[in-house]
Amino acid sequence: AEKRKQLAVAKIPLAIEHIENLLEQTDKIVVFAHHSEVLDSIKAKFPEISVMIRSGVKDADRVDAIQRFQKDPKTRLFLGGIKAAGVGITLTASSTVFFIEQDWTPGLMTQAEDRCHRVGQKNSVLCQYLLIEGTHDAKVANKLATKSDVIRQALDEDVVVPEPEEIKPVTVGITRKEITLESMGLTEPQVIAIHEGLRELSALCDGA
């Protein structure tokens, strides 16, 4: 855990540089991280244009942050904890999601990505990850790719997941696809129920 934190803190300058580049290309960005120190450092760098939701933020402040990001043109950066801000909110003002860190659980990562990929989104959503070769980053990325492959096959989704050696130590764009429901002698309600169960199981995974 300590090494993971040290790596995350070491990535802060790289993350800030990439965010600055993204702000030159697009109006609004959603940024996710795991450690509060990372989110606080990014917030300190962009105090006038950012809002943040992480652990410990009050409900009223959560609502205010979301509303400001969604409606205020001057609020260009949303900073969120993967768990604290990765579910239950809508951030369709942006179509760019940038992960400074990752979580072991594919379901949590997908949920975080989907904050921008919701009803009202008019653009394709681009998700990017900041990965460092030869570190914990690469291990997590490979594990996520493997888990996602298993889950998507179980959900009958036709996708091609890169082999571990194909994952590059750079920011990577991810293309999303719609899930296709196909039955194997089952009724459609049964297939949907099975898929929902698999999604719940993936969200409970502890990274083992």
The token pair at 185 is 């002698």
Q: Are the C-beta atoms of 86 and 32 separated by less than 8 Å?
A: yes
pLDDT in tens, 60-76: 999 999 999 999 999 99
Pick the more confident residue, 89 or 191.
89
Does the predicted model carry a pTM greater than 0.75? no
Asked if the model's pLDDT at residue 101 lies above 80, the reply is yes
The token pair at 47 is 């105090």
- The DSSP secondary-structure symbol of 107 reads H
pLDDT mean across residues, the chain: 78
pLDDT in tens, 1-38: 788 888 899 999 999 999 999 999 999 999 999 999 99
What does the radius of gyration of the chain's CA atoms come to, in whole angstroms? 17
Asked if the model's pLDDT at residue 192 lies above 70, the reply is no
The token pair at 139 is 């291990």
Residue keyed to tokens 């009724």: 187
Beta strands in 17-125 (DSSP E): 29-33, 50-53, 77-81, 96-99
Return the pLDDT at 162: 47
